[in-house]
Structure formats: structure tokens, C-alpha cells
């Protein structure tokens, strides 16, 4: 494999790095990029639309690899808020933990958090898949519309609150389910789907140990007689 092209954030601004990745990458011929000294900066490798492998060597800040298309981005450290927010396709992997709202609003592609993800993981997800090796915080998959959230550890309070057609699988303990989220029978197709995602994420686990959470669909229609109790 060709040697990776290195971009050093100790010498370049995030804007310079991102402009290179947006506008000059194809002309450079590089298909593998290493980003050095991320030092918690925000928006690193956001808005990519290229078949490229990117390794961010350290802790990254907010919105890392946001809006990602096609690229495969790995953060060799922790990620700040909203990593891979609005991901369209490709893969974003966090080797450490992810702060709030990981994979928020993601339309497609795969987000892998090897450690824990904190609150609101997968909020409003619209079709992406998220695999979390550790646990997720409160209000994860809040208003999630489509896609799959797989949690190998535990889930915090109000999991799947106001969920639409996304599916959640949790192996560990669930602190509590949010409004209109319910546990359902784990079927063969679920086990296949979980196995497929765990394999894609390269995370070990027995798919049969997971619980399936999905929408009870009671919030779909306003019911004046429910007195806001769901």
C-alpha cells in the first residue's frame, strides 16, 4: 500500500486541511490520509465526498467527519459532540469514546464507536447504522426515523423516546425506555441483521443476546384522550 499523505494540524488550519480534502484530493492521487495533531479541533474531515481512507491520529473535537460521503474515517482517540452527524455513506469509526449526539441525523453509512457513546446517540437518525461497543447515554435514538442502533453495553434513561421506524438492539441493561418505545421479540431476521452489523464493525458478540426495541407506533396519531400520557 502506498504511504499515506500526512496533514499536520499543528501546521495547517482545519479549513486548509478540509479544503484540500474537498478540492485537491483527487488531483493529488492520494487515497490514504493521516491527520496529525487533531488536538480536539472541531469539524476535522467534515463534508467529504471521496473514496479515501482517513486516519485521525488523536482526539478530535465536534462534528468530526460530519456529512461524510463514501470516505472511511477512523479517529484514533475520542470524538467530541456530533461525530459523523448527517453521515450519508461510508464508515466513521471512533476508537475511543464519543461525546453527545454521535451519528445525529445520519442518512446512510456506518458509524462505529468502539468505546461508550454518551447521550442522544443516534438522535433523529434517518437510515444510517450505528454500532456502539460500549454503552450509550440518555435519550439515545430519540426520534430516530430509520436505520439501526446496536449497543453492545447498556443503555441510559429514555432509550428510543418518540422513535419512528428505526430499530435498536441492546445487549446489556436498559435503564428505561422512552415514550412509545417497546421491547419486541427478537426474530431470526434480527439476529442476522445484528450479526451482519457486528461483523462490519469488527466487534465480537453473540447476536442472540440482544434485545430488540422499536416503536409501539402509538404516537403516530394524536390522541386527545391520552392526556399526554403515552
Partner 1 sequence: MCGIVGLLVKRDELRDQLGQLVTPMLDCMGTRGPDSAGLAVFHEPVAESHRRFGLFSPQFGFDWPQFHQRFVRDTGSDGVIRCIDSHATETATIAVNDFKEWLKDTYPNVHLISVGRAIEMYKDEGHPGEIAARFHFSELTGTHAVGHTRMATESAISPAHAHPYTAGEDFCLVHNGSLSNPYSIRRKLERRGIVFETDNDTEAGCRFLEWRMREGDTLEQAIETSFDELDGFFTFLMATDDRMVLVRDAFACKPAVVAETDDYVAVSSEFRSLAHLPNINAANVFEPAPEQIYSWTL
**Contact residues for partner 1, defined by CB under 8 A:** 39-42, 58-59, 61-62, 78, 80-81, 96-97, 99-100, 118-119, 137-138
Could you tell me which residues are beta bridge partners of residue 54?
33, 73
Q: What are the CA-CA distances from residue 180 to residues 96, 134, 146, 168, 170 (Å)? A: 31, 24, 15, 13, 17
Angle at 93 between CA 104 and CA 61, to 5 degrees: 65
The label of the residue with cell 465526498 reads: 49
CB of 107 to partner 1, least distance (A): 24
Closer residue to partner 1 in complex, CB, 39/51:
39
Q: Based on CB atoms, which residue is closest to partner 1, 117 or 194?
A: 117
Shortest Cβ distance from residue 32 to partner 1 (Å)?
23
d(CA 90, CA 68): 7
CB of 55 to partner 1, least distance (A): 16
Tell me how far, at minimum, the Cβ of 167 lies from partner 1, in Å: 25
C-alpha triplet 26, 27, 31: angle, nearest 5°: 45
**Cα-based distances in Å from 61 to 14, 29, 43, 57, 66:** 11, 28, 7, 12, 11
Query: Of the two residues 40 and 47, which places its CB atom closer to partner 1 in the complex?
Result: 40
Least Å from the CB of residue 65 to partner 1: 16
- CA 163 to CA 68: how far, in whole Å? 24
Compare residues 99 and 215 and give the one whose CB is closer to partner 1: 99
Q: Which is nearer to partner 1, 32 or 42 (CB)?
A: 42
Amino acid at each position: 500500500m502506498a504511504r499515506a499523505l500526512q496533514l499536520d494540524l499543528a501546521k495547517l488550519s482545519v479549513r486548509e486541511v478540509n479544503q484540500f480534502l474537498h478540492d485537491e484530493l483527487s488531483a493529488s492521487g492520494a487515497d490514504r490520509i493521516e491527520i496529525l495533531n487533531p488536538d480536539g479541533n472541531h469539524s476535522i474531515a467534515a463534508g467529504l465526498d471521496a473514496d479515501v481512507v482517513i486516519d485521525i491520529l488523536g482526539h478530535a473535537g465536534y462534528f468530526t467527519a460530519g456529512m461524510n460521503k463514501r470516505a472511511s474515517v477512523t479517529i484514533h482517540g475520542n470524538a467530541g459532540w456530533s461525530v459523523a452527524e448527517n453521515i450519508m455513506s461510508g464508515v466513521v469509526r471512533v476508537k475511543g469514546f464519543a461525546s453527545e449526539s454521535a451519528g445525529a441525523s445520519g442518512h446512510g453509512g456506518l458509524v462505529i464507536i468502539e468505546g461508550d457513546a454518551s447521550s442522544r446517540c443516534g438522535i433523529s437518525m434517518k437510515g444510517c447504522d450505528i454500532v456502539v461497543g460500549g454503552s450509550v447515554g440518555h435519550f439515545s435514538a430519540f426520534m430516530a426515523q430509520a436505520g439501526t442502533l446496536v449497543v453492545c453495553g447498556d443503555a441510559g434513561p429514555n432509550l428510543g423516546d418518540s422513535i419512528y421506524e428505526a430499530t435498536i438492539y441492546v445487549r446489556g441493561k436498559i435503564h428505561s425506555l422512552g415514550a412509545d418505545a417497546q421491547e419486541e421479540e427478537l426474530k431470526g431476521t434480527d439476529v442476522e441483521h445484528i450479526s451482519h452489523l457486528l461483523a462490519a464493525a469488527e466487534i465480537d458478540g453473540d447476536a442472540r443476546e440482544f434485545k430488540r426495541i422499536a416503536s409501539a407506533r402509538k404516537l403516530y396519531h394524536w390522541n386527545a384522550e391520552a392526556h399526554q400520557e403515552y
